[in-house]
């Protein structure tokens, strides 16, 4: 039960204040609910505003009928006619209420002495004398079995000898009551000690009840003042970032790579030591090579090895991965010795995903996100036949799922071996060469202009950026040189975003792709062409490249969209928070509104 009074004396309306996009009370409610510890969670309030706020956010609220002196009275009224054993009181202004603390207060009722306990509460050790002597901080002392002896605003015990070895505990306002104890509190009048200290739980002691205390280290943040709110907002931002993007990354890199024109011939040698008895290698090959006997013959299938041709016309889908895995596991009793992906970003991503799903249960859609993969993938090799995406080095495999387009981002995603043979990219059609090459150029621009940039990303990004300029703008390079350089640019571009993030063009291109099925490379080009406002000089360079190679960038792709489609596009793009944060900084939401994004899309 979360007692929630609208008119707090020190900070009126505080429970309705904004905390990272949600009201304080909704955050508290969801924090309690998300612990999964309770059969039911209710907010008990005197205010229609708070009731509506909770109900509009899918929660349950109860209006208290009477005016109450305290939160305990308020929840007592609400549970009077409910059939419950234990009632936990969570403060409405503690939005960071943690599962750990609540679990501790509930665990008290599982101990040997549970039957002697009327209620349980939490305390935390403090050692700063300023806090110990602060009357706003309620101290508690207990007996050897952790039953509360007294609560006070004075320092207790009083240290006559200043060097005495004594611990001080601060009381935290989380309680778990047996229902009878709570109802007693409600009915029994206040006595003198409670009245003089103005500490509710002294009433229990004055009526001879037993309060068991548990020690917690969980740090809550109470919102008592506008300054607390500012601090809480700051904390929340920090937490959010830590969870995905701004902690120090500890990522795996491809452990083995072979490079050079013709090195593809070395594949059988590379595979031999990895071959396990009766376990085939499965080659997933772009079907553009179906009639390319030269390439197919060089694969040198052995024993029960299997070759599967796959079209790259559509971007990979989770359902497609599940289907492939089913096909492989139903044909072979033994897990494959390895999966070899041969093709562009599409085939490389399919190979990574299949190798993961051969050792992890369920559907590929279950693993879209960060670090959801639990088991090491089957040995997998990536052999790019077109350069630019960086998929050969990246820690992700981008999939279109039933509800989202999102990568399986994990330590098990990267290839165990990559074969970089620039000759394999010989047959790539010119437009496609340009679009996929520009994916690399745009990775560099977004990484180098992003707020997440550090020396690690910069060192890779700058090299790849310069290579792209050489390849796409200068005359001097031969075709063979250009192929080799683009292959390395792709690699470096991928490494650059491994420790930073992409930006505006990728966020918007994901929106296009989700709604219109626009492919990654061309989608990026369509978008980037209109992004002078964000990447001014680089858009000029890009346009020069387009002109030099006489490439056509489609225009007007959003002209005939329905409002619904446009809204969905905007929603998908804006949901990619880390990309916007990298591109525009912490205040990105004020710089990129849905209206602004709409105007940009309509230009494309």
By the criterion CB under 5 A, which residues form the site for Zn ion?
439
Shortest approach of ligand NAD to residue 354 CB, angstroms?
Answer: 14
Q: Find all residues with CB under 8 Å of 140, minimum gap 6, and list them.
A: 123, 148, 150, 151, 152, 156, 169, 170, 171, 213
391 binds, among ligand NAD, Zn ion, none (CB under 5 to 8 A by kind): ligand NAD
Shortest approach of Zn ion to residue 493 CB, angstroms?
Answer: 8
Shortest approach of Zn ion to residue 277 CB, angstroms?
Answer: 40
- Residue 148 or 342: which CB sits closer to ligand NAD? 342
CA distance 397 to 413: 7
In 3-state terms, what secondary structure has residue 274? helix
CA distance 129 to 95: 27
- Residue 315 or 439: which CB sits closer to Zn ion? 439
Stretch that binds ligand NAD, among 5-13, 61-69, 109-117, 425-433 (CB under 6 A): 425-433
Residue 428 binding ligand NAD, by CB under 6 A: yes
In 3-state terms, what secondary structure has residue 27? helix
Shortest approach of ligand NAD to residue 313 CB, angstroms?
Answer: 6
Six token digits for residue 402: 């039933």
Six token digits for residue 68: 């109450």
Residue 509 binding ligand NAD, by CB under 6 A: no
Contact 177, 212 (CB under 8 A): no
Residue 385 binding ligand NAD, by CB under 6 A: yes
Shortest approach of ligand NAD to residue 314 CB, angstroms?
Answer: 9
CA distance 188 to 466: 79
337 binds, among ligand NAD, Zn ion, none (CB under 5 to 8 A by kind): none
* Burial group, residue 501, by CB count within 10 angstroms (0-12, 13-18, 19+): buried
End-to-end CA distance of the chain: 52
Six token digits for residue 564: 């619904």
| The three-state (H, E, C) secondary structure of 416-482, written as one string | CEEEECHHHHCCCCHHHHHHHHHHHHHHHHHHHCCCCCCHHHHHHHHHHHHHHHHHHHCCCCCHHHH
Rg (CA), the chain: 31
Q: Find all residues with CB under 8 Å of 329, minimum gap 6, and list them.
A: 358
Residue 343 binding ligand NAD, by CB under 6 A: yes
Place of tokens 């079907």: 287
Closest CA to 249 of 415, 449, 445, 495: 495
Closest CA to 245 of 582, 587, 572: 582
Query: Using the rule CB under 6 A, which residue among 394, 496, 509, 518 binds ligand NAD?
Result: 394
DSSP summary character for residue 92 = T
- Residue 35 or 394: which CB sits closer to ligand NAD? 394
- Residue 6 or 434: which CB sits closer to ligand NAD? 434
Residue 523 binding ligand NAD, by CB under 6 A: no
Shortest approach of ligand NAD to residue 455 CB, angstroms?
Answer: 22
Shortest approach of Zn ion to residue 446 CB, angstroms?
Answer: 9
Query: Using the rule CB under 6 A, which residue among 74, 139, 483, 520 binds ligand NAD?
Result: 520
Shortest approach of ligand NAD to residue 130 CB, angstroms?
Answer: 52
Shortest approach of Zn ion to residue 388 CB, angstroms?
Answer: 8
Six token digits for residue 53: 């706020």
344 binds, among ligand NAD, Zn ion, none (CB under 5 to 8 A by kind): ligand NAD
Residue 344 binding ligand NAD, by CB under 6 A: yes
In 3-state terms, what secondary structure has residue 62? strand
Residue 349 binding ligand NAD, by CB under 6 A: yes
Half-sphere exposure (CA, 13 Å, Cβ side) for 542? 27
CA distance 15 to 95: 10
Query: Using the rule CB under 6 A, which residue among 53, 286, 416, 421 binds ligand NAD?
Result: 286
Residue 511 binding ligand NAD, by CB under 6 A: no
- Residue 389 or 530: which CB sits closer to ligand NAD? 389
Query: Using the rule CB under 6 A, which residue among 105, 176, 223, 288 binds ligand NAD?
Result: 288
Residue 389 binding ligand NAD, by CB under 6 A: yes
In 3-state terms, what secondary structure has residue 259? strand
Residue 446 binding ligand NAD, by CB under 6 A: no
In 3-state terms, what secondary structure has residue 564? helix
447 binds, among Zn ion, ligand NAD, none (CB under 5 to 8 A by kind): none
Place of tokens 């990298």: 582
Say if strands 306-310 and 168-178 run parallel, antiparallel, or are unpaired.
unpaired
Shortest approach of Zn ion to residue 405 CB, angstroms?
Answer: 12
Residue 390 binding ligand NAD, by CB under 6 A: yes
288 binds, among Zn ion, ligand NAD, none (CB under 5 to 8 A by kind): ligand NAD
Shortest approach of ligand NAD to residue 485 CB, angstroms?
Answer: 16
Stretch that binds ligand NAD, among 21-29, 142-150, 337-345, 572-580 (CB under 6 A): 337-345
Interacting residues with ligand NAD between 304 and 323 (CB under 6 A) = 312, 315-316
CA distance 599 to 161: 72
- Residue 31 or 400: which CB sits closer to Zn ion? 400
> Sign of dihedral through CA atoms 22, 25, 26, 27?
positive
Shortest approach of Zn ion to residue 532 CB, angstroms?
Answer: 20
In 3-state terms, what secondary structure has residue 547? helix
Shortest approach of Zn ion to residue 546 CB, angstroms?
Answer: 17
Query: Using the rule CB under 6 A, which residue among 62, 174, 213, 386 binds ligand NAD?
Result: 386
Closest CA to 97 of 110, 86, 106: 106
Query: Using the rule CB under 6 A, which residue among 216, 360, 397, 518 binds ligand NAD?
Result: 397
- Which stretches of the chain bind ligand NAD, using CB under 6 A? 286, 288, 312, 315-316, 343-347, 349, 385-386, 388-391, 394, 396-398, 424-425, 427-428, 432, 436, 439, 520-521
């Amino acid at each position: 039960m979360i007692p929630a009074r609208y008119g707090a004396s020190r900070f009126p309306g505080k429970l309705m204040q904004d905390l990272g996009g949600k009201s304080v009370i909704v955050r508290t409610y969801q924090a309690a609910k998300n612990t999964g510890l309770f059969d039911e969670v209710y907010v008990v309030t005197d205010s229609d505003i708070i009731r509506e706020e909770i109900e509009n956010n899918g929660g349950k609220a109860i209006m208290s009928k009477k005016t109450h002196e305290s939160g305990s009275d308020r929840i007592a009224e609400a549970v009077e006619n409910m059939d419950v054993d234990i009632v936990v009181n969570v403060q409405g202004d503690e939005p960071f209420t943690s599962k750990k603390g609540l679990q501790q207060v509930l665990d008290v009722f599982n101990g040997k002495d549970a039957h002697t306990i009327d209620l349980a509460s939490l305390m935390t050790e403090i050692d700063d004398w300023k806090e110990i002597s602060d009357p706003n901080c309620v101290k508690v002392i207990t007996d050897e079995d952790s039953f509360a002896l007294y609560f006070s605003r004075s320092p207790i015990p009083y240290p006559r000898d200043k060097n005495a070895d004594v611990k001080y505990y601060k009381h935290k306002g989380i309680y778990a009551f047996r229902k009878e104890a709570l109802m007693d509190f409600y009915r029994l009048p206040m006595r003198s000690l409670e009245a003089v200290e103005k500490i509710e739980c002294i009433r229990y002691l004055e009526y001879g009840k037993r309060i068991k205390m548990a020690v917690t280290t969980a740090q809550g943040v109470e919102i008592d003042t506008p300054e607390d709110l500012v601090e809480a907002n700051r904390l929340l931002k920090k937490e959010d970032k830590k969870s995905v993007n701004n902690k120090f990354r500890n990522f795996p890199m491809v452990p083995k790579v072979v490079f050079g024109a013709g090195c593809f011939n070395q594949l059988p040698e590379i595979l031999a030591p990895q071959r396990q008895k009766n376990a085939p290698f499965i080659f997933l090959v772009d079907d553009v090579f179906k009639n390319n006997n030269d390439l197919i013959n060089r694969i040198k299938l052995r024993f029960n090895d299997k070759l599967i041709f796959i079209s790259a016309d559509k971007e990979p889908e989770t359902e497609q991965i599940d289907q492939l895995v089913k096909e492989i596991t139903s044909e072979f009793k033994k897990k494959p010795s390895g999966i070899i992906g041969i093709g562009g970003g599409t085939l490389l991503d399919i190979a990574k995903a299949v190798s993961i799903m051969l050792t992890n249960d369920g559907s590929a859609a279950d693993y879209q996100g960060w670090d959801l993969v639990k088991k090491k993938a089957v040995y997998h090799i990536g052999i790019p036949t077109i350069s630019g995406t960086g998929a050969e080095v990246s820690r992700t495999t981008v999939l279109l799922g039933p509800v989202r387009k999102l990568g399986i981002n994990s330590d098990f995603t990267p290839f165990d071996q990559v074969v970089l043979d620039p000759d394999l990219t010989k047959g790539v059609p010119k437009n496609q060469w340009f679009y996929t090459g520009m994916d690399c150029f745009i990775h560099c621009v977004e990484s180098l202009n992003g707020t997440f940039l550090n020396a690690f990303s910069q060192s890779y990004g700058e090299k790849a950026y310069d290579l792209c300029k050489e390849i796409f703008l200068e005359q001097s390079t031969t075709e063979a040189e250009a192929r080799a350089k683009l292959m390395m640019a792709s690699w470096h571009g991928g490494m650059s975003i491994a420790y930073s993030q992409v930006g505006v063009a990728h966020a918007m291109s994901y929106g296009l792709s989700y709604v219109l099925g626009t492919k990654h490379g061309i989608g990026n080009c369509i978008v980037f062409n209109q992004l002078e406002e964000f990447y001014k000089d680089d858009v000029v360079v890009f346009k020069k490249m387009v002109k030099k190679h006489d490439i056509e960038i489609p225009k007007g792709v959003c002209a005939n969209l329905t409002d619904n489609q446009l809204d969905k596009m905007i929603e998908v793009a804006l949901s990619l928070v880390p990309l916007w944060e990298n591109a525009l900084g912490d205040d990105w939401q004020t710089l990129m509104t849905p209206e602004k994004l709409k105007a940009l899309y309509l230009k494309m």
